[in-house]
């Protein structure tokens, strides 16, 4: 049996508890000089680190341009990233960066374009570690580019990147050793994947391959679409979380579950029954940046209102100042 307060060591990095802030953009934040990151982001993450979060995964960050050191990876943009890593460390959080390959149709990509994307993934990983991050998470979920490779219902390629499971994971198998060389033995390499790519059984097969490849941590969300499988009536969390717990039964690496985990009771239920190794609390930690410290101290939290219910229409997608859970200046 594990507890929310238990520490865990991955690649020599000590994560002080099992509470994760999953990657989440703040669309209404204005980066300095019109860029993606700025002081507002630095403070946003620092507050959640101060609030006791064990592991913070910084929002989807595009890999494109990392090799050329342009775009989000310019030196100008690296400074706030360094600050985010440092400030989170100062409060004792482990901090990783989610790396995204955007939203392109993989069926249209030439092999040269895939190769470019692969080298961007390696270069971005190296830059993230250079900025002080403890590791990175590749975004293979939510129907975006890398997710599409994995899902046979979308991936219609008839070359080495489509068809068999071996081909659908080839994007990563081809570069994993270069990623490891780029980030070193002591950085965490994680994958966020769907627990329904294209269904639970298919996702379990993919998760096993990721484990064999040497991925350190799996973060299970949804794939091309929301899952539709049934879950036991007494399971106190969402279907997405249930699928994460099923994947956990088939791998030995740690698994993060996410989606609609709002309460201390739900998070403890997951840990104490060994359903998963980490509970990621997204909107809950937006609504109350001290969610982790309060839950660990058994104090009441500022509840997320779950705006929009299962459609998860969080106002942080549009205007965070309207979040009803807290008044933000």
Ligand X SMILES: Cc1cc2nc3c(=O)[nH]c(=O)nc-3n(C[C@H](O)[C@H](O)[C@H](O)COP(=O)(O)O)c2cc1C
* Catalytic residue positions, numbered: 144
Comparing CB distances to ligand SF4, the nearer of 99 and 258 is: 258
- Specify the DSSP element, H or E, that contains 211: helix 200-213
Binding status of residue 25 toward ligand X by CB under 6 A: yes
Shortest Å distance, C-beta 138 to ligand SF4? 26
Comparing CB distances to ligand X, the nearer of 56 and 114 is: 56
Shortest Å distance, C-beta 281 to ligand SF4? 11
Span 266-305, contacts to ligand X by CB under 6 A: 281-284
**Beta-strand runs (E) in the chain:** 8-10, 13-15, 19-21, 55-62, 94-100, 135-140, 188-194, 217-221, 255-258, 278-280
Q: Which stretch binds ligand X (CB under 6 A): 2-10, 139-147, 195-203, 265-273?
A: 139-147
Q: Which of 221, 239, 245, 268 binds ligand X (CB under 6 A)?
A: 221
Interaction partner, residue 222 (ligand SF4, ligand X, none; CB < 5-8 Å by kind)? none
What is the Cα–Cα distance from 139 to 130, expressed in whole angstroms? 20
- Determine whether 296 is exposed, middle or buried from the number of CB atoms within 10 Å of its CB (0-12, 13-18, 19+): middle
Go through 247-270 and write b for each residue having 16 or more CB atoms within 10 A of its CB, e for each that does not: bbeebebbbbbbbbbbbbebbbbb
Interaction partner, residue 307 (ligand SF4, ligand X, none; CB < 5-8 Å by kind)? ligand SF4
Comparing CB distances to ligand SF4, the nearer of 101 and 281 is: 281
Binding status of residue 98 toward ligand X by CB under 6 A: yes
Q: Which of 19, 37, 52, 59 binds ligand X (CB under 6 A)?
A: 59
Query: What's the angle, vertex CA 284, arms to CA 128 and CA 134, rounded to 5?
Result: 20
Interaction partner, residue 221 (ligand SF4, ligand X, none; CB < 5-8 Å by kind)? ligand X
Number of residues that this document lists for the chain: 329
């Amino acid at each position: 049996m594990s507890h929310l307060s238990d520490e865990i060591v991955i690649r020599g990095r000590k994560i002080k508890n099992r509470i994760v802030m999953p990657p989440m953009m703040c669309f209404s934040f204005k980066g300095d000089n019109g860029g993606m990151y700025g002081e507002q982001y630095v403070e946003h993450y620092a507050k959640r680190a101060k609030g006791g979060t064990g592991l913070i995964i910084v929002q989807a960050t595009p890999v494109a341009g990392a090799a050329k050191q342009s775009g989000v990876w310019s030196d100008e943009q690296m400074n706030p990233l360094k600050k985010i890593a440092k400030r989170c460390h100062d409060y004792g959080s482990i901090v990783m960066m989610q790396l995204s390959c955007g939203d392109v149709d993989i069926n249209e990509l030439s092999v040269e374009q895939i190769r470019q994307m692969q080298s961007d993934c390696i270069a971005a990983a190296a830059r993230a570690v250079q900025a002080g991050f403890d590791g990175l998470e590749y975004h293979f979920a939510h129907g975006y580019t890398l997710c599409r490779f994995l899902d046979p219902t979308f991936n219609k390629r008839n070359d080495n990147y489509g068809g068999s499971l071996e081909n659908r994971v080839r994007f990563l198998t081809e570069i994993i050793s270069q990623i490891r060389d780029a980030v070193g033995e002591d950085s965490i390499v994680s994958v966020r994947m769907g627990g329904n790519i294209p269904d639970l059984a298919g996702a379990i097969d993919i998760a096993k391959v990721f484990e064999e490849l040497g991925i350190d941590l799996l973060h299970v969300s949804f794939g091309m679409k929301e899952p539709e499988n049934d879950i036991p009536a007494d399971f106190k969390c969402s279907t997405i979380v249930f699928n994460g717990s099923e994947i956990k039964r088939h791998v030995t690496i740690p698994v993060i579950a996410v989606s609609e985990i709002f309460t201390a009771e739900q998070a403890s239920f997951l840990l104490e029954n060994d359903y998963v190794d980490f509970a990621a609390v997204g909107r809950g930690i937006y609504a109350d940046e001290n969610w982790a410290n309060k839950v660990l101290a058994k104090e009441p939290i500022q509840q997320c209102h779950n705006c929009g219910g299962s459609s998860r229409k969080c106002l942080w997608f549009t205007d965070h100042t309207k979040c009803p859970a807290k008044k933000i200046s």
